[in-house]
Amino acid sequence: MTRTTRFDPRPSLIYVTGTISGPDGMTQLRLVVDTGVSLTLIVPRIIHQIGYGPEDADVVTSVYSAAGKEHGYMLREARFATLGFAMANFPVNVFDLPDRDLCDGLIGLNFLRQFNCQIRPKDGCILLENLAPLAA
């Protein structure tokens, strides 16, 4: 099954939408596709909004940025959906982004590697081809 997601090709970043759910409900997301990020990242305010916190972490994590070493945590979300596909028990890294108004998170390679992926910036579309069953 192949799904096509359209995006506005004019901005310097690829913005798409998604949803995430937890024990306190579901919320809409404004995400950036980032093939340089190994784990999908969601900002803490979103994680808290759906009912999770640091106490739910699987592991404490750290990343290096221009600001130095920053700490966060990884947890598994009840359900994460974007680009036409949804996954249950999906691992995300929880970190603040430097520009808090930029987006709610970054779609990383741990999501994109589940598919054959084609990003077509000039056409403003992303094609994902699902080759194996996903955890619903």
Report the candidate in 101, 98, 13, 32 with the shortest Cα–Cα distance to residue 63.
Answer: 98
The total number of residues written for the chain in this structure: 136
Per-residue pLDDT of the chain (136 residues; tens, 9 = 90+): 899 999 999 999 999 999 999 999 999 999 999 999 899 999 999 999 999 999 999 898 887 766 677 788 999 888 999 999 999 999 999 998 877 788 999 999 999 999 999 999 999 999 999 876 655 5
Query: What's the confidence (pLDDT) of residue 135?
Result: 54
Q: Which residue's entry shows tokens 């799904």?
A: 3
Specify the pLDDT at position 133. 64
**68-82/59-65 β-pairing:** antiparallel
Please say whether the beta carbons of 114 and 134 come within 8 A.
Answer: yes
From CA 82, how far away is CA 18, in angstroms rounded?
Answer: 4
Residue carrying structure tokens 């970054």: 106
Query: Which pLDDT score is estimated for 66?
Result: 64
- Predicted confidence at residue 100, as pLDDT, reads 72
- pTM, to two decimals: 0.89
d(CA 22, CA 79): 7
Q: Which of 91, 74, 75, 73 has its CA nearest to residue 135?
A: 91
Strand partners, 54: none
* pLDDT the model gives residue 103: 95
Q: Cβ(14)–Cβ(127) under 8 Å?
A: no
Domain boundaries in the chain? 2-130
**pLDDT attached to residue 65:** 66
Q: Which CATH architecture has domain 2-130?
A: Beta Barrel (2.40)
108 close to 34: Cβ distance less than 8 angstroms: yes
